[in-house]
């Protein structure tokens, strides 16, 4: 394992490093490359999938959902809604009668 944090993460550099791993492990053992959608990473995934047609080029859905959720919570509507939800949650957590309800 190497520390690559000081290296410039260009698409060609990332492609080279990913290719080294694929070569050492064996391309038949890979089904896909999953990563975020930064332009350098996207390009590296594209280059790898061209070199190795059996390896799928996939964006990370968790990362996409995180980006969408981050955008949503920045809106005033979402902030207002989340504040109201927190009030309801606090009420039910702190109310002994609510704790006796079979649905909670």
Q: Do 15 and 46 belong to one domain?
A: yes
**What does the pLDDT read at residue 4?**
80
CA 3 vs CA 6, 7, 15, 36: distances in Å: 8, 9, 16, 20
Q: Do 61 and 18 belong to one domain?
A: yes
Q: Is residue 40 classed exposed, middle or buried when 0-12, 13-18 and 19+ CB atoms within 10 A define those classes? A: middle
Share of the chain above pLDDT 90, in %: 49
List, in sequence order, every residue forming a beta bridge with 57; answer none if it has no partner: 33
Full residue range of the structural domain in which residue 49 is found = 1-70
Per-residue pLDDT band for 96 (boundaries 50, 70, 90) equals: low
pLDDT tens for each residue of 37-72: 899 999 999 999 999 999 999 999 998 899 898 888
Q: Do 66 and 86 belong to one domain?
A: no
Domain count, the chain: 2
pLDDT tens for each residue of 82-93: 889 999 998 888
């Amino acid at each position: 394992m190497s520390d690559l944090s000081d290296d410039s993460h260009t698409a060609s550099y990332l492609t080279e490093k990913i290719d080294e791993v694929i070569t050492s492990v064996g391309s038949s053992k890979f089904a896909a490359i999953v990563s975020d959608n930064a332009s350098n990473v996207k390009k590296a995934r594209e280059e790898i999938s061209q070199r190795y047609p059996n390896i799928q080029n996939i964006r990370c859905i968790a990362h996409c959902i995180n980006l969408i959720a981050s955008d949503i919570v920045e809106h005033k509507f979402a902030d207002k809604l989340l504040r109201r939800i927190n009030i309801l949650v606090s009420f039910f957590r702190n109310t002994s009668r609510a704790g006796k309800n079979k649905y909670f």
